Structures are given as C-alpha cells and as structure tokens.
Amino acid sequence: MSYSAPPARFSHHHALAHALARALSRHTGILLAAAATLFLAACTPAGTLTRTEGEALKTEVATLQQRVVQLEAAVKQLASRSAAPAEPAVVALPDSTDPTRRLGSAEAPVVIVEFSDLQCPYCRRFHQQTLPWLRKEYIDTGKVRFESRDYPLEFHAQALAAALLARCAAREGKFWELREAVFGVQGSLAADGLDQAAKAVGLAPELRARCDSDAAATTQTIRAETEAGQAIGVRGTPSFLVGHVVNGKIEGTLVVGAGLPETFRKRIDPLLAAAAKP
C-alpha cells in the first residue's frame, strides 16, 4: 500500500487544531496559576492582598475561564473538520469508441472505466469477486457500461506482454476470455503462463504472429491509455472512473482498489437516480 500526503485542506485544519490546542493548554496554565494565586492569597496573613486586588484577580480568572471555553469549542470544531473526508474530485476522460473491451449497453446511463494490470493480484481479485456481482446487478441489466483500459505497472515484468496478448485476443472478440485465462495462470506468467492462456482461448498462431508484428504500435496505444489514467489521478491498479458521458467525455470520480460491492453501489445508485430525473 502506497502512502500519499494528506490534502492541503486537511493539513491546514490539522495545523490550526494543534495551534489552538497549544493555546488552550497555555491559557489553562495561566488560569491555574491565577487560581493558585487566589488560593494563596486566602491563606496568607491578612493585609498582603487588598480587596481591590482580589476582586481584580477574580475578574481575570473569570475572563480566562471564558476564553478557555471558547478555545475548547474552536478546537472541537476544527478537529471535526479535519476528520471529515473531502469530497472526491470530479475528473474527465475521453470516451472510448472501442467495443472490444466493453461490457454492457453503449447507451447505459452510467459508465465505469477500469484501469487494470493483468499481473496485479488485486485486479484478479476484482475480476473474480466483484465484477460478477457488477455484471448481474448493473451491467447485464443495462444500467452500467463497463470497459477496461490498460495500466501495466513497471514493476510487473509481464504486465505489458499480458496487455499486448489481451489486445491481440480482442481482435477475435476474445478479450474477456483471455483476461480470465491470464488471471487463472497469473502465478506462472514469467514462465509459460501467457502461452497457456492463449491456448486456453484458442488464439491461432498466425494471429499471434500478426499481433507480434504490430507490437510496437500497440505498445504506444497502451502507453497512451496509461498516461490518460495518470492525468486524472490514477496511481495504481485497479482504479475505476465511475461517471457518465458528457459531451464526448466520461465525467466522474475515482474509486481506488479492488473495492467491495457496496463501494460501487454508493457511487452508481446516485448517478442512476440523477439520470432518471426528467
């Protein structure tokens, strides 16, 4: 799991809360000191503290008490603000015209774009655990269009080769079958796993040969998809843009990680409700 710095707004509120807490501590110390002085005045021999001085000290203590109450309220307010999660940013991505890596109706009101690495174990988890639920609840019912885009991570040595093979399979309409086959042999990709996956879906040797000859150009399109993902804030896989099409672009918010069904439901249902309004 990678670490990212907290957003500026969070850091600003967090710093203010700490500053006010320090001020509260300082004023509380002053208040205690004043109270101690008042207590000592009551125990000292008569004549060391005049009535006027005593009344002035009482007024100062009362003022400090009021200030402490105000500081406590300010600290609580800022603490609640810093703890509140920021609203996810709305980002936009050019819509795709490639149907070979798409599931669901092209007219679906909600679009989910997945950025995936076929060597990533969390992408496999999503494919095996969450995607079947998405298909049943939203994709096959015409509510969501789902599409996959490439985001091979540099530290996964076989990720680019797997993406190239999946693009090759897409030429025969076998992208999703190949993807499933690759996830099934993910642990052996460095050996003969890709060959096993190709044979499992019946990719013809001559097709693979044609794909190999086009590998340089296909690699450029894969890199372009990765860069488009980076431009909207994708930093790891799987990541998902959940939104709808507006003027040829998919506008929405990012979901990072394999995600549980409820995570997607919370993003999808409000979009469906908004689309249903006249």
Which CATH number fits the domain that encloses residue 209? 3.40.30.10
| Residue 222 structure tokens | 């894969």
The answer to which of 40-54, 98-112, 197-211, 223-237 has the lowest mean pLDDT is 40-54
* 1 belongs to a structural domain: no
Tokens of 87: 């609203």
Q: How confident is the model at residue 31 (pLDDT cuts 50, 70, 90)?
A: low
Residues 181 and 79 in one domain: no
Among 83, 116, 139, residue at a domain's last position: 83
188 in the same domain as 71: no
Are residue 28 and residue 133 in the same domain, yes or no?
no
Q: Is residue 2 part of a domain?
A: no
Is 115 in a helix, a strand, or coil?
strand
Least confident of 5-14, 131-140, 239-248: 5-14
End-to-end CA distance of the chain: 43
Give the separation between CA 210 and CA 43, rounded to whole angstroms. 99
Long-range contacts of 189-193 (CB under 8 A, 24+ apart): 189/119, 189/158, 189/161, 189/162, 190/157, 190/158, 193/158
44, 95: one domain: no
Nearest to 158 by CA among 117, 181, 189, 185: 189
Number of H helices, E strands in the chain: 10, 6
Query: Structural domain of residue 120, as residue ranges?
Result: 91-276
Instruction: Answer with the one of 35, 57, 83 that is the final residue of a domain.
Output: 83
Instruction: Give 52-71 pLDDT, tens digit per residue.
Output: 766 766 777 777 787 878 77
Residue 4: the pLDDT is 36
Q: What span, in angstroms and rounded, lies between the C-alpha atoms of 35 and 25?
A: 15
146-158: per-residue pLDDT in tens?
A: 999 999 999 999 9
Do 194 and 70 share a domain, yes or no?
A: no
pLDDT at position 22 is: 62
Residues 150 and 180 in one domain: yes
Q: How far apart are CA 119 and CA 182, in angstroms?
A: 8
Residue 157: per-residue pLDDT: 96
Q: Is residue 3 part of a domain?
A: no
- Asked if residue 51 is part of any domain, the answer here is yes
Has residue 84 got a pLDDT over 70?
no
- Give domain status of residue 235, yes or no: yes
Whether residues 25 and 150 fall in one domain: no
Mean pLDDT score of the chain: 84
13 or 239, higher pLDDT: 239
The pLDDT of residue 44: 39
Does residue 49 register a pLDDT over 80?
no
Q: Of 26, 56, 83, which one is at a domain's C-terminal end?
A: 83
What is the number of domains present in the chain?
Answer: 2
Q: Is the pLDDT of residue 209 over 60?
A: yes
- Are 250 and 156 in the same domain? yes
Averaged pLDDT, 41-59? 58
Residues 141 and 255 in one domain: yes
Say yes or no to pLDDT of 42 above 80: no
Helix (H) / strand (E) element for 76: namely: helix 51-83
Same domain, 183 and 141: yes
- Is residue 69 included in any domain, yes or no? yes
My answer on whether 246 and 191 are in the same domain is yes
Lowest mean pLDDT among 59-73, 138-152, 154-168, 202-216: 59-73
| 62 and 164 housed in the same domain | no
What pLDDT, on the 0 to 100 scale, is given for residue 8? 41
